[in-house]
Amino acid sequence: MTRNEFVGFGEVVSGASDFVAKCLGRGAPMSARSIRGKVAIAGIGESTYYKHGQSPDAELVLLLQAILRAAEDAGIEPHEIDGFASYSNDRNDPSRIAAALGIPDLRFSNMHWGGGGGGVAAAVANGAAAVAEGYADCVVVFRALAQGQFRRFGQGAPDPTVSGDAAYMSPYGVMSPSQKYAMRATRFMHDYGVHRDVLKAIAMTSYQHAQNNPRAVMHGRPLDAETYDDSRWIVEPVNRLFDCCQENDGAAALILVSAERAKDLKQKPVYLLGAAQGSDHRCGAPVMNASNFRSSSFATVAPRLYQTAGVTAADIDVLQSYENFTTGVMMAVVEHGFCAPEECNEFFTLENLAAPDGKMPLNTSGGNLAECYMHGLGLQLEAVRQLRGQSCNQVEGAKLAMNIAGPMVTPVSSLIMGSEETL
Amino acid sequence: MSETYLPAGMPAPVPSADGLDVPYWEGTRRGELWVQQCGSCGNWQWGPEWLCHKCTSFEIKWVQVEGSGVIYSWERPWHPVHPALKGRGAYTVVLVELPQAGNIRMIGNLLGPDDQEVVIGGEVEAVFEAHDDADTPYTLVQWRPKT
Ligand SMILES: [Zn+2]
């Protein structure tokens, strides 16, 4: 691809039919080098989820609890774990965890670059690549966050002076993720005539699903339309309070083994069918100068995902899409080809998004908004539950699940999991 | 000290330690807007970079441009995330495109009433807001609707 074609990619987004066709990847041959079917998720585990600052346990303790539960879920001994993969500069490094768990042979340690939750699917993919290539046999993908014990994401940095990219934003009051990403969504919604009801539907879907999920921090705290409409602005004209993710304390982990190994373990194996990461032309350009700005950063990633997995958006049974903000869900789902940008008002309704009978059940655990802000790893665990048939909001006969990681940052990532019959 | 759009105590910008954007910040002190253009292929780019992203030449020039632009997007934060903003109330931020410089984008506050209507595509002009009392004095580039 030449540079000029790259620059023109932003225009592809405005041509809805071209865009959807590209995302659906119709006719695209699956790469012979695909990860498809080689690696399985054999175990999942999480700590109790808390509101930020309410965990009685240290962050590392929460993480160790999650890892031990994932091992128990899989039916493996903790000492069999020989690799770790994480993202977003997780504070708990693999050597520390391996020492705590008494792991005799640490064979793989991997940190995926990039802030926010954009790397959660990439971390799963990186761990899976290690298993597929034999660098390790049993890799834990993890994330632990005790925002009450460390600096919260939603607050500006306390530094008296700023330089680099921040020098062009912080002095004007653009500091938090909500403030940094609202600009993208404002322009997207303006250009495509998207109504705020789209965002309300995404928020209400997560809260509705959380009411059936005893793990959810918002379990027993339903959200009705009036409460949403009356909630205060965080950043006008896109983010009201309920459009923004929570800040939580907790930890989650999943365990990757080879497809062969998974068959002998306790749970029904869930296979990784494909994964992709990255971002398009100059997505990280300073001072909001990304070429394709009104975007969630998936314009080139989503087509590659479908190509490696060998499936299309129409094949997906259940969708988990990371909510940093409801606007990010909207743009990411569009960029993965589930609807054209101009179709958002019709596609994003509570009826379409709610399990079990919605057209495209979304964030069936309650997600980052209403289950727990576990930086998206909770949504990966939920996709596994759906394909095992263990979800609190089970989609009948779900065989293919998609996970979209944190949108609007760079790099972003997404993946597709499948049950055995999809191989 | 003249009045500023946001309260005192906001983070103060300082040029990068490696010197990359010194010409921009020096220009703002003189009430001038300086941006980068490639000396080899003419490509405009912002924020500051060491090389041209189009032709990968290191021959980057600093060029003074007219302080005018078009609103590309906007937002109005209500929730204060910095101590200096507590009690300020909602403020307006605009992302401005500069058609005279290859549609590069800059961020600033939109001066005027806090509840003013913001129009995507609306024309704006630069206002140089001096912070002379800061430890290291600096000037912010702000925007107001073109009359
Ligand atoms: Zn050049």
Domain limits, chain B: 22-145
Inter-CA distances, A335 with A279, A284, A300, Å:
12, 18, 9
Q: What does the pLDDT read at residue A157?
A: 73
Distance B45 CA to ligand 1 centre (A): 9
Mean per-residue pLDDT for A372-392?
97
Q: Do B53 and A157 touch (CB under 8 A)?
A: no
Q: CA nearest B74 in A: which residue? A: A183
pLDDT tens-place string over residues A8-36: 333 433 334 444 444 444 444 555 688 99
Q: Do B11 and A157 touch (CB under 8 A)?
A: yes
With 0-12 CB in 10 A as exposed, 13-18 as middle and 19+ as buried, what is A384? buried
Q: Do A164 and B16 touch (CB under 8 A)?
A: yes
Inter-CA distances, A60 with A47, A142, B65, Å:
11, 11, 53
Greater confidence, A11 or A414? A414
pLDDT tens-place string over residues A140-159: 999 999 877 776 777 777 78
Render the burial of A316-355: b for 16+ CB within 10 Å, e for the rest. bbbbbbbbbbbbbbbbbbbbbbbbbbeebeebbbbebbbb
| Helix and strand totals (H; E) in chain A | 15, 13
Mean per-residue pLDDT for A194-215?
98
Strands B68-77 and A161-162: unpaired
pTM for this entry: 0.93
Q: Which residues of A touch B93 (CB under 8 A)?
A: 172-174, 179, 183
Hey, where are the domains in chain A? 39-151+247-262
Distance B112 CA to ligand 1 centre (A): 38
Asked if A246 contacts A373 with a C-beta cutoff of 8 angstroms, the reply is yes
pLDDT tens-place string over residues B42-83: 999 999 999 999 999 999 999 999 999 999 999 999 999 999
> Is there a catalytic annotation at residue A373?
yes
Strands A161-162 and B12-13: parallel
Task: Tell which phi-psi region holds residue A128, choosing left (phi > 0), alpha (psi between -120 and 50) or beta.
Answer: alpha
Residue tagged 């069936």 (tokens): A364
Long-range contacts of B55-60 (CB under 8 A, 24+ apart): B60/B36
Q: Answer whether A197 touches B (CB < 8 Å).
A: no
Q: What does the pLDDT read at residue A149?
A: 74
- Among the partner-chain residues B81, B85, B107, the one whose CB lies closest to the CB of A168 is B107
Q: What does the pLDDT read at residue B147?
A: 85
Asked if A415 contacts A404 with a C-beta cutoff of 8 angstroms, the reply is no
With 0-12 CB in 10 A as exposed, 13-18 as middle and 19+ as buried, what is A5? exposed
Asked if the model's pLDDT at residue A1 lies above 60, the reply is no
Q: What does the pLDDT read at residue A32?
A: 67
Q: What does the pLDDT read at residue A6?
A: 35
**CATH level 3 topology of A39-151+247-262:** Peroxisomal Thiolase; Chain A, domain 1 (3.40.47)
pLDDT tens-place string over residues A165-192: 999 999 999 999 999 999 999 999 999 9
Sheet holding B60-65, edge to edge: B44-45, B33-38, B60-65
Asked if A270 contacts A255 with a C-beta cutoff of 8 angstroms, the reply is no
Separation CA B144–CA A273 (nearest Å): 52
Asked if A71 contacts A162 with a C-beta cutoff of 8 angstroms, the reply is no
pLDDT tens-place string over residues A66-92: 999 999 999 999 999 999 999 999 999
pLDDT tens-place string over residues A308-353: 999 999 999 999 999 999 999 999 999 999 999 999 999 999 999 9
pLDDT tens-place string over residues A42-66: 999 999 999 999 999 999 999 999 9
The phi, psi pair for A183, rounded to 5°, reads -60, -40
Helices A177-192 and A326-335 cross at an angle (nearest 10°) of 50
Largest CA distance in chain A: 57
pLDDT band at A115 (very low <50, low <70, confident <90, very high): confident
pLDDT band at B2 (very low <50, low <70, confident <90, very high): low
Average per-residue pLDDT for chain B: 96
pLDDT tens-place string over residues B97-143: 999 999 999 999 999 999 999 999 999 999 999 999 999 999 999 99
Asked if the model's pLDDT at residue A5 lies above 60, the reply is no
Q: Comparing C-alpha atoms, which of A319, A323, A285 is closest to residue A416?
A: A319
- Among the partner-chain residues A3, A182, A294, the one whose CB lies closest to the CB of B75 is A182
